[in-house]
Structure formats: structure tokens, C-alpha cells
Amino acid sequence: MKIIKTTQELSDFCKKCASFNYVTLDTEFLRERTYYSKLCLIQMAYPGIAEDSAALIDPLSKDLSLSPLYDLFQNPDVVKVFHAARQDLEIFFVDEQILPKPFFDTQVAAMVCGFGEQVGYEKLVRAICNEGLDKSSRFTDWSARPLSSKQMEYAIGDVTYLRQIYEFLAKKIEKTGRQAWVEEELAILMDPETYVVDPKQAWRRVKTRSSSWKMLAAVSELAEFRENYAQNKNIPRNRVYKDDCMMELAATRPQNVEDLSKSRLLLREARKGQIADGILGAIKRASEYNPNDVERQVSIHEKPQGKEGLSELLRVLLKAKAEQFGVAPKLIATSSELDRIASGEDDLKTFNGWRNDVFGKDAKRLRAGKVALSANGKNVIVVPI
């Protein structure tokens, strides 16, 4: 199988792709040792069964520029089809601040078509193409060269079957009139803000059950320092310190290097130098917070006290609506969003667009006591009161 290694070869292939109404794409990358993904391989295919309708592109080649691909990304007549595209798109955005338009994600489309939550590519290949995939090469080192024939066969399968999957899902979405549903979800992936990691918001990644404002202030500052350091050094954030270590530091709030040496979880190399200085600086800044600062910066959504029963009723309603419309429940509303609805919140995506039509309106009516839930044999039904 030929691998494209020069800009001219890529340009020639992209010109062929531009004559079709869609192309399928995927990437292979490494991220275990870096903050930003290292792009190692790009797979592309255009419609048809010819052997040259699919290609592997080697971004590690010194003779290759991705500019022809980025030109194709901006071609409005060719839909760029991915599966579970968030990490793929992040790579291209970080590299060139570009996103492919128009764009289609088969994982999102599959959720709208009732295939379940975050459905995997392998499941769709089995369900739609009636084929199985050999996934044994999934965790190989994609930066090593030359690629083995097994690696290449695995990689190319991620875009060849994707053609049939895309055509199947696109037809089903058109038949059900749910294009707007899919477009609403794809808009999130097409928003550049999705791929910009603001260190000041890094605390949102950290799970903590503490309600102590002093500890939450420390978490906010420690998470921001860790994100900045990891980005600047291009290393995984856990290489700076892990979340459980952050919780320990936020609880003990060390004041000097000697205090850091007493940490059970802090890596030895982090007890001195830039990381140690960063930790102590974060703790010092956190000490200057007051409770109002924490409430403004660290928003916590707890389960509604005294409203657990309503939350459970909303879960029943959500499941019933998801089954009725053939949509993955999580696509309509998450568990935390149900708790927030029970608490009386209205500023949620659940109450906008198609979600409001499918679930939001009845969720508000249930919360207000205007409807009840019953059953007519196998199905849950909404009964006006």
C-alpha cells in the first residue's frame, strides 16, 4: 500500500478528492509523552471501490506539507467526514488554526439515529457494514517507521468502511428530518473555543467533593499553574502532578520547600525547581482569596437537597423520551443537567432547540406538577394533571 510522502503526491490526491461530494478522514497520533498530540498518520478516502480511492498520508515526512489538505478543508463543496472527531480536529486547529467545513461526525449522527451514547466505530462497522475489524494495532507506536502491513491495513479500514457508514446515516437523518439536530451538535465541534484550553478554567477538570472555600481556592490556583506549565513544556499535565496529589496539596497548603518534602504523592523532581516554586506561588495566591472569589471562579453543582425524588422522575422521563425518539439519552441531557433542572435552573441547553421539543417542555411541566408519569403496558407515558 502506497503512503503519500510528498506535497505533490498529496496535492494530486486532494484534487481527486475535490471532485466528490464527500471524503472520509481519520488520524493516528501519540499523546502519552506530550501535552499536544503528535500527528503520526492521516487516512483519507473518497467514494468508490478503486484501490487508489483510499490513501495513507505521512505527516512525519520531511518532504510533505499539509497545505493541500488544508485547502481541501476549506472547499465548501466537499463534506469532510470523521468519526469521533474532537481529537482529530484539535490536532489540525493547534497546527494551523483551521477546521474542516462542511463537516460531519458519524458518532454524533449515530447518537441522533439511536445507536447509543458515544458509539464506537467498530460497532458501527458491524451494525451497518456487517464486517468485523481487527483492532490489535490500535495501541502500536504510530511514530515508528516503516509502518507494518498490519498497521496500514488497520489504519486504512478506519476510512474505507466510514464511507458506507456516512451514506447510511446521512440518508437516515434526511429521512427523519433531523438535520438540524445534527447540525446543532456539530456546531460545538466547529467552534474554535472548543479547542482552546484556558488555564484559568483548568479547575473544571478536577473532581473534588470538598465544599471548603479555602481548599477550592487552592485547587483553582494549582490547576491553573499545572496547565500553564504543562502547555509551556509540552508535557502531560499528570507529569507535573496528578489530581490526587493536587487534592493533597490543596488540603495541606504547604508554605515552603520543607513542607513540600512531606508530601506523600508529589513526585521527587517536583519538590524543587520551577514546579516547587509554582506550587508555593499558587498556594500563596489562594491565601488571598475570599469566599466570594471562590464562588465566582469555582462553580459547584451539587445534587439538589430534598429534590432527589424529582431528579429520579426526570430520569424516567428522559429514558422514555429517548426510547420514543430513538436518541441516546445523554445527547438530550446529562445526569448533572437533570439535577440542575430539579433545582429549578432554566438556563440550560436542554430548554433550547430540538432538545426542548423532545424533552425540555415536558421536563418543565413535570417539575411544575402539571403532568405525571404513568404506564400503558410497556411504555412510560406523560399524563396531564
For position 139, what pLDDT does the model report? 82
**Tell me: the pLDDT tens digits for 320-370?**
999 999 999 999 999 999 999 999 999 999 999 999 999 999 999 999 999
Secondary structure (H, E, C), the chain: CCEECCHHHHHHHHHHHCCCCEEEEEEEEECCCCCCCEEEEEEEECCCCCHHHEEEECCCCCCCCCHHHHHHHCCCCCEEEECCCHHHHHHHHHHHCCCCCCEEEHHHHHHHCCCCCCCCHHHHHHHHHCCCCCCCCCCCCCCCCCCCHHHHHHHHHHHHHHHHHHHHHHHHHHHHCCHHHHHHHHHHHCCHHHHCCCHHHHHHHCCCCCCCHHHHHHHHHHHHHHHHHHHHHCCCHHHHCCHHHHHHHHHHCCCCHHHHCCCCCCCHHHHCHHHHHHHHHHHHHHCCCCHHHHHHHCCCCCCCCCCHHHHHHHHHHHHHHHHHHCCCHHHHCCHHHHHHHHCCCCCCHHHCHHHHHHHHHHHHHHHCCCEEEEECCCCEEEEEC
Do the Cβ atoms of 196 and 89 come closer than 8 Å?
Answer: no
For position 360, what pLDDT does the model report? 97
Domains of the chain: 3-195 (3.30.420.10), 199-297 (1.10.150.80), 308-384 (1.10.150)
List average pLDDT for each run of 10 residues in the chain, which is 385 residues long.
94 98 97 95 96 96 98 98 97 96 97 91 96 84 94 96 98 95 94 94 88 92 98 96 96 96 94 97 96 66 68 95 92 93 93 94 96 90 92
For position 296, what pLDDT does the model report? 54
Residues 2, 204: Cα–Cα separation, whole Å: 44
For position 295, what pLDDT does the model report? 62
Do the Cβ atoms of 101 and 73 come closer than 8 Å?
Answer: yes
